């Protein structure tokens, strides 16, 4: 009876050492991996008609966003940044939309850009909804959405829950579960360890607004195939544009905002 007990204890110890402890560490480390909050903003400051605003969320967080009122278009665009960026980094993109006559709200997430709180999947979706509601309170016109990378995971639930006139997605993914599989391959039980799955693939089919997807063929962060697959899951009529030679963070040098601006102008409902 002594030997089997020793063997059992050794098995328990091995499982703890090589399975439970590493997987637990991976599970709780995902916050820093999925949400790498920048510590610096590059010295950027709001200009071009943008002003700093504070948005209160239903669960008590305060988000430091940037707002530009609408011009001749009488419509506004919510802009969602990616995971290693902040709202202030989107000023250049925001100016292009503002110069075209749109109002713009550069969305910030909890924990980013000096905002309170710690980012989670549920948290950033709550932030997106609070940002939409804030923007609706500032201007009565239609609202569109522009999102990049991780921001698409917060933006699509907003588009599903609120009325929007158009949705533009840059470098999106089907799910972070798929990205995790792409990074580490197949590992038994790994799917259960993905703390923030962000299932864009399960949401996009229910979006009623027109959708535009742009993806670079040389994207090494979120593979081109991810955007291509997401487009097949989107409603009929979704536009998918392949940006030859573009990576993950250089779509701007390939004219993405000209495409996005024309998309919003085309899809904007005619004013009575």
- Indicate which CATH number applies to the domain containing 90: 3.40.50.1820
Specify the pLDDT at position 247: 96
Chain centroid offset of residue 145 CA: 11
C-beta separation of 88 from 106 below 8 A: yes
Residue 18 in any domain: the answer is no
Residue 247 per-residue DSSP state: -
Q: How many domains does the chain have?
A: 1
Which pLDDT score is estimated for 20? 46
Q: pLDDT of the chain along its 272 residues, tens only?
A: 454 655 545 554 444 444 444 455 455 556 567 788 887 665 557 777 999 999 999 999 999 999 999 998 889 999 999 988 999 999 999 999 999 999 999 999 999 999 999 999 999 999 999 999 999 999 889 999 999 999 999 999 999 999 999 999 999 999 988 888 877 665 555 565 678 899 999 999 999 999 999 999 999 999 999 999 999 999 999 999 999 999 999 999 999 999 999 999 999 986 54
Which structural domain range is residue 75 located in? Answer: 35-267
Here the tokens at position 225 are 């195939």
Report the alpha-carbon distance of residue 264 to residue 88 in Å, rounded. 22
Q: Is residue 8 part of a domain?
A: no
pLDDT of residue 242: 98
Cα dihedral 159, 160, 162, 165 in deg (nearest 10): 50
pLDDT in the model for residue 224: 97
Q: Does 147 map to a domain?
A: yes
Q: What is residue 179's predicted lDDT score, i.e. its pLDDT?
A: 87
Question: What is the Cα–Cα distance from 241 to 212, expressed in whole angstroms?
Answer: 8
- Residue 22 inside a domain? The answer is no
User: How far is 231 from 239, CA to CA, in rounded Å?
Assistant: 8
């Amino acid at each position: 009876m002594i030997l089997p007990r020793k063997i059992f204890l050794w098995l328990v110890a091995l499982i703890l050492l090589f399975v439970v402890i590493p997987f637990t560490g991976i599970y709780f480390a995902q916050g820093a991996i999925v949400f790498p909050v920048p510590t610096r903003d590059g010295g950027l400051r709001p200009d071009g008609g943008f002003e700093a605003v504070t948005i209160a969320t239903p669960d008590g967080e305060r988000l430091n966003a940037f707002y530009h009122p609408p011009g001749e278009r009488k419509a506004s665009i919510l802009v969602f940044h990616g995971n290693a960026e902040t709202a202030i980094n989107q000023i250049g993109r925001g100016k292009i939309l503002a110069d075209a006559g749109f109002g713009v709200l550069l969305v910030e997430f909890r924990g980013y850009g000096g905002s309170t709180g710690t980012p989670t999947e549920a948290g950033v979706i709550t932030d997106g909804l609070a940002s939409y509601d804030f923007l609706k309170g500032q201007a009565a016109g239609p609202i569109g959405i522009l999102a990049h990378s991780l921001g698409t995971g917060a933006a699509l639930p907003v588009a599903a829950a609120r009325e929007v006139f158009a949705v533009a997605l840059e470098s999106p993914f089907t799910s972070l579960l798929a990205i995790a599989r792409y990074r580490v391959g197949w590992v038994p039980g790994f799917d259960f360890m993905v703390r923030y799955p962000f299932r864009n693939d399960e949401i996009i089919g229910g979006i009623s607004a027109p959708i535009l997807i742009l993806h670079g063929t040389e994207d090494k962060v979120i593979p081109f195939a991810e955007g291509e697959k997401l487009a097949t899951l989107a409603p009929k009529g979704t536009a998918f544009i392949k940006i030859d030679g573009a990576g993950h963070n250089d779509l701007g040098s390939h004219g993405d905002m000209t495409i996005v601006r024309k998309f919003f102008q085309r899809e904007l409902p005619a004013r009575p």
